[in-house]
Amino acid sequence: MGELLARQLRRSLRGLAIAAAALYGLWEHRKLGCDASRAECAEWLHQSCARGLSAIHVHLSSAGALPSHGLIVSNHLSYLDILVMSAAVPCVFVSKAEVEQWPIFGRYARWAGSVFVRRHDQEDAARANASVAEALKIGVPVVLFPEGTTTDGQSVLRFHSTMLQPAIDAGALVTPCSIRYELDNGVVEREVCWWGDMALLGHALNLLAKKTIRATIAFGEPMPATGDRQQLSQTLHRAVLRLHQQLRSSGKTGLVDSAAAPPHSE
């Protein structure tokens, strides 16, 4: 009974905390004005996501050099990935079009300059490619989840290569990375990773009740985006898979704490 009450209290307090952080972020965005640059919007999202992670007691750590520009290619486990990646690096995201309609998340994504892509629409892919190229050109890091969907983190699905073309055209650097989560009490594959037909609301409410969630991002060595996009996709997949396997086998060994979201005590 005691633990049940503790979980309910954590869920309530963190629900209020994340709501307050979200509202504060929306208020802060008003200060930017309609003519805010993409870099300013990325910085706004960076600060907002750091506050969001702090509100729900996510402890973020990173390994490797944080990218300051170019394309960032990562595995994809959860809606939490957006907060974690943005709290680590001011960036814009390439996202499926459905996210634009999500409550709160969708508005944040639009205001942060995310590039929304309608799947299986070649004309829309061309528009999205142009938008990604624009962001790369002005030096704002662009995050791409080329698996195209979230997974339970047991493996890394094959990469879709379409959205790699803007990086090749721009001669940009591409940084592979991998995200991993840990829980002291619970099953990461079901309670942090969000995939398949899991209900979003129930999953999020359960997540808020967790004591502490540890998130780790491992950044690999940047590589030039050159050659054929299919070959580049395979090279990046191998690099992300290698980082993924290293995180799973080594835990937190050699990781550097990020200042983005400090740990909390209950």
For 76, residues 6+ apart whose C-beta sits below 8 A from its C-beta are 145, 147, 149, 150, 151, 179
Question: How many of the other CB atoms lie within 10 Å of CB of 105?
Answer: 18
pLDDT band at 251 (very low <50, low <70, confident <90, very high): low
Tokens at 215, concatenated: 């998130």
| Cα-Cα end-to-end distance for the chain | 18
Arithmetic mean of pLDDT, 156-176 = 94
Arithmetic mean of pLDDT, 158-171 = 93
Distance CA 23, CA 122 (A): 36
Digit-coded pLDDT (tens) for 82-124:
999 999 999 999 988 888 887 777 878 888 888 888 877 777 7
Arithmetic mean of pLDDT, 233-245 = 97
Please give the pLDDT value at position 263. 35
Arithmetic mean of pLDDT, 5-30 = 92
Where in the chain does DSSP place strands (E)? 58-63, 71-74, 92-96, 115-117, 142-144, 173-183, 213-219, 223-224, 256-257
In 3-state terms the chain splits into helix, strand, coil percentages (rounded to 5) of 50, 15, 35
Arithmetic mean of pLDDT, 52-72 = 96
Smallest CA-to-CA distance from 41 within 87, 89, 92 is with 92
Distance CA 52, CA 212 (A): 14
Arithmetic mean of pLDDT, 249-254 = 59
Q: Is the pLDDT of residue 230 over 50?
A: yes
For 43, residues 6+ apart whose C-beta sits below 8 A from its C-beta are 90
Please give the pLDDT value at position 112. 86
Tokens at 232, concatenated: 């580049």
Arithmetic mean of pLDDT, 219-237 = 96
Full set of structural domains in the chain with CATH: 2-257 (3.40.1130)
Q: Is the pLDDT of residue 260 over 60?
A: no
DSSP secondary structure of 147-213: TSS---SSS-PPPP-GGGHHHHHHT-EEEEEEEEEEESSS-HHHHT---TT--HHHHHHHHHT-S-E
Under a CB-based contact definition with an 8 Å cutoff, are residues 180 and 245 in contact?
Answer: no
Please give the pLDDT value at position 216. 97
Which residue is associated with the tokens 């942090």? Answer: 192
Arithmetic mean of pLDDT, 57-70 = 96
User: pLDDT over 90 for what percent of the chain?
Assistant: 70
**Distances in whole angstroms, Cα of residue 235 to Cα of each of 73, 86, 228, 242:** 11, 24, 11, 11
Please give the pLDDT value at position 167. 95
Please give the pLDDT value at position 189. 96
